[in-house]
Amino acid sequence: MMNPVIEAIHKRRSIRSYESKPIPRDVINAILEAGNQAPSRGREMNGDFKFQPWRFVVVEDPTFKQKLVQTTLPIWKKMTESIGETHPELYKNIVKLYEALPEPKDMVYYSAPVILFVIGPASFAVSCALACENIMIAATSLGLGSCYVGFGMMVKGNAEIVQGLELTDDERIYGPIVLGYPKDDPKVRFMDQHESYVEPKIKWI
């Protein structure tokens, strides 16, 4: 059984290679609106009851993106080095991929044209995660690639980035999610062609 929504879910893949082509603003807005339509529990804000606990920061500026890379890449390198002891073959492949990247090397955000931060209170983690999923499915449906990059949330040590994102003490970053036009064909990334794909465990009662 298939329809456009299920088809987009099946096609969604974590894309790690992007064209430098910018994403039109109306396309980004459509993706953000899809994220904003995610289910969430409400919270009281300034006397009103709101059902969208998240906010979005869209990063396109090359200078700010480079600050993000400079902040997170050393963390990525340190954590990747620890893989060398436990999974030497995997580490060798990661190093090979890193060395093949053009300068400036970006193994965190993959030089994507857009880095999208979903930001919200830590107590609304489930709601914000649902918004992230909506965003990635919407991006797929519009012919874009996306990738949820956990290393990208490790930026709170850089005061300049914290100020730019306007992060408060009670907020956390979900993602961020990188967006762009894939360099390769996402069809080759179908999970049923990957050894890592595991059939869902289902119990019927």
Structural domain includes residue 198: no
- The pTM score is 0.86
Please state, as a whole number, how many other Cβ atoms lie within 10 Å of the Cβ of residue 106.
20
Give the mean pLDDT of 149-157.
92
Angle of CA points 37, 39, 40, to nearest 5°: 115
Residue 148 lies inside a defined structural domain of this protein: yes
Q: Give the CA dihedral 52, 54, 58, 59, nearest 10 degrees.
A: 180
138's enclosing H/E stretch is helix 125-141
Q: Is the pLDDT of residue 184 over 90?
A: no
Count of domains observed in the chain? 1
| Full residue range of the structural domain in which residue 121 is found | 17-40+50-193
User: How many Å apart are CA 145 and CA 112, to the nearest integer?
Assistant: 9
Q: What is residue 102's predicted lDDT score, i.e. its pLDDT?
A: 77
Instruction: Calculate the average pLDDT of the chain.
Output: 89
> Per residue in 82-125, pLDDT tens?
888 888 888 888 888 888 777 878 999 999 999 999 999 999 99
- Asked whether residue 10 is assigned to any structural domain, the reply reads no
Query: What confidence tens digit (pLDDT) does each residue in 35-59 have?
Result: 999 998 776 667 766 778 999 999 9
Any domain includes 1: no
* CATH number of the domain that residue 180 is part of: 3.40.109.10
